Amino acid sequence: MLYESMTERQRELSDKAMDAEGLLYGNAEFNIAKYMYASILGDRQIGDDGAEAIAEALKVNTTMSELDLGKNQIGVAGAQSIAEALKVNTTLTTLYLDRNQIGDAGAEAIAEALKVNTTVNVLDLRLCHIGYAGVLALAEALKVNTTVTMLYLGKNAIGDAGAQAIAETLKVNTTLTWLNLPQNCIGNSGTRAIVEALKDSCRREVYISDQIRPLVFSLTPRLASAEDVQTVFHLLTSGLALEDQSASLPVLPVELAEHIMDEAQYWQGVQCTKRERFQADTPDVALKVTVPRSLDGNWVCVKSIHVLRDKATHDGDSDDSAFELIVRDEQGSVRCEFAAQPTFLDATLESLTIWPALAPIIRQMRGGWEVQVRPSKSVQDVGFESLYLGYVGPIFAMFECPAFSNARKASG
């Protein structure tokens, strides 16, 4: 794509990627000695495009020993590109990929690279949305890898099964000396497995404290894709022929199909979670989500807002438990502030679902609007927070969203 034909955002990413390549290739315009050995590119929002550019540079760079790519909106594709570079790079010893969205698929790609890489000693994969499949791949890779000495896996969701896989690796791996596993939904069985694997070792430090209960993640709303939502809606409104049977499901009216999907909360959604810095309310770390804009310029319709908070203790003070929310429009102006009391799912887990009937402002929300949850008044007890906003796209919004209907009337 020609630079002149790029959007402003695409040009920004391209510039960042070229900057990153310059640092790694050691071009003349980046005549800073430290960049030849360590590159701090964290929190530059380079995304997959930037990661792919850096990966290409890593394949030929022969001096870089430390690379920080933390908090860069790197996804699966970016992680896979970095993994391919690790298979041929022979100088990088420290790699930070923390606070990205590489997921299980990205972790699996990194794991394959670790089977052949012989230089990486320190690997940081905290807050990377890694579950059981991803950590299983990493555990298998570490059974043959003999160079990684420090591995950071905190604030993922590996669970007891993932911890057990790690425990099996610890029985045969003799080089890993530091393992970071806090806030990973590890229960008693996973903890026991790791403790048992460590009983004959005094050279290792394993941190497994501050675990988040699996129940928390089971209550997080699922995120459906636009394609999945439309497929289900089509099946409900057109009838579904049952396999190997002459019968089919009845064709449902649009209103009834929508009601069924609402009851199941089967929508698209955006989500933000926090596992640290709960007291901070600055824009870069606030618990907030933004209503997506439709690619074709049509409106979306917000269905509900869901907030979840897990605390170490509960003192019974209702004022401390209330969720305080702020709604801002696309210009950043505050359109509504309100507080609501959560439901206690158990002694410490607080949940709140906000429907349009409770907060009518929801009916006015559209692409670019923002919802933010203020910090708890007892932040010292908070261990996990999640904010989810469910919405439907234009195909449904045109039937049911007042904001969409009003906009259509106003446009003639």
What pLDDT shows up at residue 318?
53
CATH 3.80.10.10 residue spans of the chain: 3-211
Percent of the chain with pLDDT over 70: 78
Give the pLDDT score at 8: 59
Average pLDDT, the chain: 81
Q: Find the farthest-apart pair of alpha carbons in the chain and give their distance in angstroms, rounded.
A: 76
Q: Is the pLDDT of residue 410 over 50?
A: no
- Name the class of domain 3-211: alpha beta
What is the rounded CA–CA span in Å between residue 54 and residue 41?
10
Confidence of residue 400 (pLDDT cuts 50, 70, 90): very low
Q: Are 326 and 337 in contact (CB under 8 A)?
A: yes
Residue 29, pLDDT score: 34
H helices present in 315-401, as ranges: 318-321, 394-400
d(CA 350, CA 338): 17
Rounded to two decimals, the pTM is: 0.62
Q: Which amino acid is located at 408 in the chain? A: R
Q: Is the pLDDT of residue 217 over 90?
A: no
- The residues, any chain, with a CB within 8 Å of residue 262's CB and separated by 6 or more, are 303
pLDDT digit string (tens) for 315-365?
555 556 789 999 999 999 999 999 999 998 877 788 999 999 889 999 999
With 90 as the cut, is the pLDDT of residue 276 above it?
A: no
* Residue 50 phi, psi (nearest 5): -65, -40
Q: Per-residue pLDDT averaged across 35-40, rounded?
A: 51
> Between the ranges 146-155, 354-363, 375-384, where is the mean pLDDT highest?
146-155
CA distance 323 to 134: 34
The whole-number average pLDDT for the span 232-250 is: 68
Q: How far apart are CA 79 and CA 328, in angstroms?
A: 34
Q: Which of 188-192, 244-248, 356-360 has the lowest mean pLDDT?
A: 244-248
pLDDT attached to residue 175: 94
Instruction: Give me the pLDDT at residue 352, please.
Output: 92
Q: What average pLDDT does the segment 103-126 reach? A: 97
pLDDT at residue 34 above 80?
no
Q: What is the pLDDT of residue 98?
A: 95
What's the whole-number mean pLDDT along residues 11-37? 45
Query: Higher confidence at residue 3 or residue 244?
Result: 244
Residue 14 or 33, more confident: 14
pLDDT digits over 48-70, tens only?
888 998 898 889 888 889 999 99
Q: Binning pLDDT at 50, 70 and 90, where does residue 136 land?
A: very high
Per 3-state DSSP, what percentage of the chain is helix, strand, and coil (rounded to 5)?
35, 20, 45
Choice between 27 and 379, residue whose per-residue pLDDT is larger: 379
- Write down the pLDDT at residue 267: 86
Which residues face 39 on adjacent strands?
67
